[in-house]
Amino acid sequence: MKFDTPAGQNPIDQLKVVGRPTSRVDGPRKTTGTAPYAYERHNVAPNQAYGYILGAGVAKGRIVRMDISEAKAAPGVVAVVTTLDFPAPLPLGLANIAHLFGGAEVAHYHQAIAVVVAETFEQARAASTLIHTEYARAPGKFDLAKEAPDAPLAGGSRGGGSGTPPIDRIGDFAGAFAVAPVKIDRTYTTPGESHAMMEPFATIAAWEGDKLTLWTSNQMIAWSKSSLAKILSVRPENIRLDSPFIGGGFGGKLFVRADAVCAALAAKTARRPVKIAMQRPLMINNATHRPATIQRVQLGANQDGRLTAIAHASTSGNLPDGEPETAVSQTKLFYAAPNRETYMKLARMDLPEGNAMRAPGEAPGLMALEMAMDELAEALNMDPVELRVVNDTQFDPEKPNRPFSERHFVECLRTGAEKFGWSRRNPKPGLVRDGKWLVGMGMAGGFRNNILTKSAARIRLEKGGRLTVETDMTDIGTGTYTILAQTAAEMMGVGLDAVTVVLGDSDFPASAGSGGQWGANNSTAGLYAACLKLREAIAQRLGFNPTDTIFSDGKVTAGGHSVPLADAARGGALVGEDGFDPTDMSKRWQQSTFAAHFVEVAVDSYTGETRIRRMLAVCDAGRILNPKAARSQVIGAMTMGAGAALMEELAVDTRFGLFINHDLAGYEVPVHADIPHQDVIFLDHPDDKSSPMKAKGVGELGLCGVGAAIANAIYNATGVRVRDYPITLDKHLDKLPAIA
């Protein structure tokens, strides 16, 4: 189905099922432990052996030799595969920057150099310690601050919808900034972050002749199937991936990782199925992370707060051939200013691979931009909400002929300010106390692009009237099973209990996949198109005119005649298969989502400890397909934003080139005690230029801006501005107001 004009009235607009808060249809399986994740699929292949990946002990250099004799002779060992078994690195898959296996060169710490296969996990792990590896260590570049001054300009994309050329200039930024009555020029830093998903990278691999099946944990099935075909030199039609349940991904599972490649290689060598779950230290050092940034924001404004000049520069680091963290992408679109400059610099470094993590680009970019806006508001003696209101725009600032499809950012701001009680905020920082606590409020804008992409699905009407949906779309904990079931139920006029959804199998039609907050809108639009095909087939079989046939309450009605839906399948099952093709809609209209985040914090005046007291997000993201699941997505993202603001940081050992806090004891993430009650408000503005569902993404929008809102609240509480995330107590303790 080509989507080339705004959606008109359609069956989804009935909103009998879609748009209603609906409990997860997979919830009972998740809560009873009967929804198996990749490593737990013990029955998919007989006689599974256990694989254990050995990571490189140096960050850069070359393997001189490996002695595996002791490992091979260890109890229970079935096979040992080493990187030296391959004379050169295996080919790169889609969006992989680091080679996942093969050859003697070591490009980063914990690069996979061997996989040991044994009868038990413990035997494989023990045997891996018996592999003796001799390295020729080479000097590496591990310190972003040291490399940043000489980093060259670079354009690129993080793979999650953010992208930008090396440098963009509109108007005369330098001239306008020089004469601006009020201006700020600030530098901010964000550290590297880990996805830290609960389910590890995990795969079970089995060969049957030249055909390979992988039961794996992966967000993008079609991408990964083609990548594995390339990496392993296997014909795509001979590879099948199956990933029905995923325990979190956040972008880390967008692309093939070493667990899948090593499991496939090990299974071929061992001549039996092999299962691998990547250990936590390798998840952090072997896989991907959000790169650290150094960002400079310059804002010039008139006394009324209207921006006359805006510039945003970001420097990040990555392996050779890697991409920058596109932290300037939202600045190109968020606020109006006639004179603009954005650019990025990329330092070539030897740390593990930097790649997509939830809201790549915008998440760290807004941590800087929205703190800078708060600083500008103070310089103007202006309310931070009003500053954003006066700089709102309904058009792409760099392409004035391209309007936003729907933009209700001002409504987000006004609604949030009223609901949160923003008018009670004392604009003078450091003056509000509650016993030993310094109390403050902060806010920030949220922005994330809405990405349109092709997505296909198949729906079948079985004998008895049951509907089965099939697509390779994945559910990474976001509620995909439920919104697809809602879409099918709405389109076919049945209840949710009449729909079965089967996901994550590469034998099914290729979907948008899960990532970049594009999954929900595009995958449901693809199923919408397939349902239209099925509705047409049903009408034709029943002898009805397809154009005036109504599907409702389990019946098919046309021309005053009504029959049960199940009657259409008496002559055999009927199938509808089609896909959503958004054509050039995102070029004709700028497609974005917006939010306003409000936070109240308390800072202990004795210890400097920060406690979040209240959080509110007001989101403008088109039609909300399932408000219950969407709220869960947003509060989860808000929690991730709290982690980024207050505790998350990959600590780099700049001598040896590794993240030293490579487990969940050292890499801190928020726990229940860190998070207060969170409120979420969704504005009701269906976007008819986004899809026939009139929806947009929301899962990453909930993260964008939260970090800055927390940082701004801490400043309002203490009067101490910390521009280097995370805002840990050591960064402001000695500057806190005197204790009364």
Catalytic residues: 700
Residue type, 266: A
C-alpha neighbours within 13 Å on the C-beta side of residue 687: 30
Tokens representing 609? 């400890």
Tokens representing 225? 């199937």
Q: Where are the alpha helices (DSSP H) in 450-557?
A: 480-492, 519-542
Task: Assess contact for 661 and 193: CB atoms under 8 A.
Answer: no
Residue 552, number of CB atoms within 10 A of its CB: 16
Task: Assess contact for 411 and 334: CB atoms under 8 A.
Answer: no
Q: Where are the alpha helices (DSSP H) in 401-514?
A: 409-420, 480-492
Provide the 8-state DSSP code for 237. G
How far apart CA 213 and CA 264 sit, in angstroms, is 9
Q: Cis omega (within 30 of 0) on the bond before 726? A: yes
- Name residues whose C-beta falls within 8 Å of residue 197's C-beta, 6 or more positions apart in sequence: 247, 248, 249, 250, 252, 253
DSSP letter string, 711-738: HHHHHHHHS----BSS--GGGTGGGSPP
How far apart CA 408 and CA 410 sit, in angstroms, is 6
Provide the 8-state DSSP code for 109. T
Tokens representing 30? 């998740």
Instruction: Please state, in angstroms and as integers, the Cα–Cα distance from residue 390 to each residue in 383, 387, 510, following that order.
Output: 11, 6, 44
Q: Where are the alpha helices (DSSP H) in 212-337?
A: 221-232, 258-270, 280-285
How far apart CA 555 and CA 535 sit, in angstroms, is 12
Torsion of CA 362, 364, 368, 371, to 10 degrees: 90
The end-to-end CA distance of the chain, in Å, is 68
Tokens representing 635? 């509060």
How far apart CA 323 and CA 346 sit, in angstroms, is 8
DSSP letter string, 8-59: -S-GGGG-SSTTS----TTHHHHHHT-S--GGG-TTSSSS-EEEEEEEPSSS
Residue corresponding to tokens 């922005």: 447
Provide the 8-state DSSP code for 254. S
462: nearest Cα among 500, 493, 489, 491: 500
Tokens representing 689? 């230029």
Q: What angle is formed at CA 314 by the lines to CA 183 and CA 719, rounded to 5 degrees? A: 50
The backbone torsions φ and ψ at residue 567, rounded to the nearest 5 degrees and listed phi first, read -60, -30
DSSP letter string, 543-594: T--GGG-EEETTEEEETTEEEEGGGGGTTS-EEEEEEEB-TTHHHHSB-EEE
Q: Is 515 exposed, middle or buried (0-12, 13-18, 19+ CB in 10 A)?
A: buried
262: nearest Cα among 318, 202, 200, 335: 202
Residue corresponding to tokens 């830093």: 189
Task: Assess contact for 645 and 675: CB atoms under 8 A.
Answer: no
For the chain, the farthest-separated pair of C-alpha atoms sits apart, in whole angstroms, at 84
Task: Assess contact for 81 and 262: CB atoms under 8 A.
Answer: yes
Residue 7, number of CB atoms within 10 A of its CB: 20
